[in-house]
Amino acid sequence: MPSATPAKTSPKLLSGGNPQIAKGDGDAPVQAYIDAMPDWKRAIGKKLDALIERTVPGVRKAVKWNSPFYGVEGQGWFVSYHCFNQYVKVTFFRGTSLEPMPPGTSKTPETRYLDIREDGIPDEQQLAAWLKQAAAIPGWNGGSPSAGGKAM
């Protein structure tokens, strides 16, 4: 009698519909995160990932704190994103250094945000310009978004 193949379980969705994905370095955990993004957010995740890869050749990827992180070796992480109920929040860790600055303010002095809603990326050219600028400056090397420590 053949053994039954266990059914693949989907990642748990945390508050706001953010996928709970184990931390890991490389493209595979980032793709697992994107595949687990709910509904229209998955298309946004695919578009963001492709735009980041196109704009920053050789970009490093990881999943940390249930969010994809993108960085440049030796410079740190420059951008991340996270699912919320009504939008995908793109985090520019050194966003106050970008021209023009992304619109969303943060309690962290240098961080700026861009919220992408269901109707899609509002200005892909501007987003690509921010990504290019962010990748060219020293990024964030903290161990967690709210605590110190070396991450890259």
- Please give the backbone phi and psi of residue 146, each rounded to the nearest 5 degrees, phi first: -120, 0
Domain for residue 125, yes or no? yes
CB of 30 within 8 A of CB of 16?
Answer: no
The residues facing 77 across adjacent strands are: 71, 140
Confidence of residue 13 (pLDDT cuts 50, 70, 90): confident
Q: Is 21 inside a domain boundary?
A: yes
Number of compact structural domains in the chain: 1
Confirm whether 142 is domain-assigned.
no
Specify the pLDDT at position 151.
43
Range of the domain at 89: 15-136
**Is 34 among the domain residues?**
yes
What's the CA gap between 26 and 75, in Å, rounded? 16
Averaged pLDDT for residues 2-29: 75
Classify residue 76: in a domain, yes or no.
yes
Q: Is the pLDDT of residue 57 over 50?
A: yes
CATH of the domain at 118: 3.90.1150
DSSP tag of 21: -
CA-to-CA distance for 126 and 78, rounded, in angstroms?
16
Within a domain: residue 146? no
Per-residue pLDDT reduced to its tens digit, 74-124: 999 999 999 999 999 999 999 999 999 999 999 999 999 999 999 999 999
Evaluate the CA torsion angle 49, 33, 19, 93 in order and state its sign. Answer: negative
